[in-house]
Amino acid sequence: MSEEFIRRKDYVSGPLTDEEKVKQREHADLWIKRILRTDPMDKDKIKTSIKNLYRVADLEEPIVETAQSTIAMAFAFGACKAILDKRYEDKK
């Protein structure tokens, strides 16, 4: 029995087509390239863009911090999370 093949805006069912597999690989490659890039960023532009997204969504403006690389950000997040978890546990 084969799976039913359905593609709608709100629902997808069935195996990927060859064309979808190519598009999925291209999309993954794009994001892998973005994650691993080491080009300098325009920090002011990034911060303004993020704050504008929140404003348009009618959400409270966030505090936006940047890091030198995605790897540095990952380590910083882990360290911050550990510190906040420890503070939370100490308050119990």
pLDDT digits (tens, 9 = 90+) for 29-51: 999 998 888 788 899 999 999 99
Does pLDDT of 88 surpass 80?
Answer: yes
Q: In 1-92, which ranges are continuous DSSP H helix?
A: 18-36, 43-56, 70-91
> In this model, does residue 10 exceed pLDDT 70?
yes
The full length of the chain comes to 92
The answer to whether residues 61 and 54 touch, using CB atoms and an 8 Å cutoff, is: yes
Residue 1: pLDDT band (50, 70, 90) is very low
Q: Flag whether 81 is in a domain.
A: no
Residue 1 resides in a domain: yes
Question: Could you give the CA distance from residue 76 to residue 57 in angstroms, rounded to a whole number?
Answer: 27
The CA–CA distances, whole Å, from 68 to 60, 61, 63, 75, 88 equal 26, 22, 17, 11, 28
Is residue 26 in a domain?
Answer: yes
Domain contains 58: no
Q: State whether residue 10 is helix, strand or coil.
A: coil
Domain presence at residue 29: yes
Query: What domain range includes position 24?
Result: 1-37
Q: How many domains does the chain have?
A: 1
Instruction: Report the predicted TM-score, pTM, of the whole model to 2 decimal places.
Output: 0.46
